Homo-oligomer: A and B are copies of this chain.
Amino acid sequence: MSLARVHNFSISLDGYGTGEGLSREAPFGHAGERLHQWMFATRWWHELTGGSGGQGGLDDTFARRFAPGIGAEIMGAGKFGYPGWHDDPEWKGWWGPNPPFHTPAFVLTRHPRPSLAMEGGTTFHFLDASPAEALERAREAAGGQDVRIGGGPTVVRDFLAARLIDHLHVVVVPLLLGRGVRLWDGLEGVEEDYTIESVSSPSGVTHLTFTRAGVAP
């Protein structure tokens, strides 16, 4: 069974998955890098970005679940590029020549363009599709493996609302952003489909996992 999984999705205490004022210079707007400091501190991140160092422990253990068993990713337009990237034919994503996905990556956008093969196995495909349609396409590309729903908050929320997520890992960072894009809006009762666990880390963040009944990711 090919699951739909979310990993390392960071939100503020007040529920924002990104800030306000997103731009080419500020991918997370006024949130800056504050939602992801816990992740940048892990050994996993250091390895992923070609360095050494970083910390082991609980945060690292969760972070490492990002890649194993994943055969494709689905992301929103904002995770691929700045507002307006679709008018820039040279834009190849935030992620550099060798993006960290290393699988097919489906970008949900109302402005599809030809697929873009990058180094390291990532190929970006551009889809104007519903969550269910996109998941079907990604599953075909994943060759029997799981599909990661990569965010941002609107995309994760839409997939939760469509009851398509099997496993959700959210990291709550003790910040009050006050404005931006909220993850949880309009999801009343969605938790009833899941077993939920919470564990707080010495770093100050709290890891939440939602696992659909009968599923063992």
Contact = CB atoms under 8 A, between A and B. Distances in A.
Interface of A: 13-15, 172, 174-179, 184-191, 196-200, 204-206, 208
Q: How many of these chains are in the complex?
A: 2
Contact of A204 (B179, B187, B196, B206): B196
A189 to B, nearest CB: 6
Nearest to A207: B200
A175 B194 CA distance: 11
A188 B184 CA distance: 18
11 contacts: A13-B191, A15-B15, A174-B198, A176-B184, A176-B190, A176-B191, A177-B188, A178-B189, A198-B206, A200-B200, A206-B206
The 10 closest A-B pairs by CB, nearest first: A178-B188, A14-B184, A198-B200, A174-B196, A176-B187, A198-B206, A200-B200, A176-B191, A199-B200, A176-B190
Contacts of A179: 188
Contacts of A190: 176
A198 B206 CA distance: 7
Given A13-B184, A184-B14, A185-B14, A208 B174 contact: yes
A178 to B, nearest CB: 3
Contacts of A198: 172, 174, 200, 204-206
A200 B200 CA distance: 6
Contacts of A14: 15, 184-185, 187
Nearest to A198: B200
Nearest to A182: B14
A113 to B, nearest CB: 35
Given A172-B172, A176-B187, 7 more contacts: A13-B191, A15-B184, A174-B196, A176-B184, A196-B204, A198-B204, A198-B206
